[in-house]
Amino acid sequence: MLDIIRSLPEQLIGASRLEIPDITRAGYRRVLVGGMGGSAIGGDVARDVFRDVEFSIETIRDYHLPPYALPGETLFIAVSYSGNTEETLSLFEQALERGVDTVAITSGGRLAEISRQKGIPLITIPGGYPPRGALGWIFGALSMVMGGAGLLEGVEELLNETGRFLTDIAEEIEGEESLSMDFASKFYRRLPILYAPSDMLSVALRWQAQINENAKQMAHVNVLPEMNHNEINGIKHPPEVMRRSWVVFFRDMDTHPRILKRMEITRSLIEEDVLGIDEVESRGGSRMERIFYLIWLGDFVSYYLAVYNREDPLAIPRISHLKEALGREG
Site for ligand F6R contains 130 (CB under 6 A): yes
Binding to ligand F6R, residues 62-91 (CB under 6 A): 80-82, 85, 88
Q: Which of 16, 78, 54 is nearest to 151 (CA)?
A: 54
Phi, psi values for residue 52, rounded to 5°:
-100, 25
User: Among residues 44 and 199, whose Cβ is nearest to ligand F6R?
Assistant: 44
Site for ligand F6R contains 11 (CB under 6 A): no
Tell me the C-alpha distance between 74 and 26, whole Å: 9
Q: Which residues are catalytically annotated?
A: 213, 229, 323
Tell me the C-alpha distance between 89 and 189, whole Å: 38
Q: Which of 120, 125, 118 is nearest to 142 (CA)?
A: 125
Shortest distance, CB of residue 37 to ligand F6R, whole angstroms? 2
Report DSSP state, residue 64.
P
Binding to ligand F6R by CB under 6 A, coded x per residue (else -) over 288-317, reads ----------------------------x-
The SS3 assignment for 171 reads helix
Shortest distance, CB of residue 5 to ligand F6R, whole angstroms? 12
Site for ligand F6R contains 235 (CB under 6 A): no
Other CB atoms within 10 A of residue 51 CB: 14
Q: How many residues bind ligand F6R (CB under 6 A)?
A: 15
Shortest distance, CB of residue 72 to ligand F6R, whole angstroms? 27
Tell me the C-alpha distance between 141 and 42, whole Å: 9
Tell me the C-alpha distance between 146 and 31, whole Å: 8
Site for ligand F6R contains 43 (CB under 6 A): no
Shortest distance, CB of residue 266 to ligand F6R, whole angstroms? 30
User: Which region among 31-39, 94-102, 264-272, 299-307 touches ligand F6R (by CB under 6 A)?
Assistant: 31-39
Phi, psi values for residue 298, rounded to 5°:
-65, -35
Q: Which residues contribute to the site for ligand F6R (CB under 6 A)?
A: 36-39, 80-82, 85, 88, 130-132, 213, 316, 319
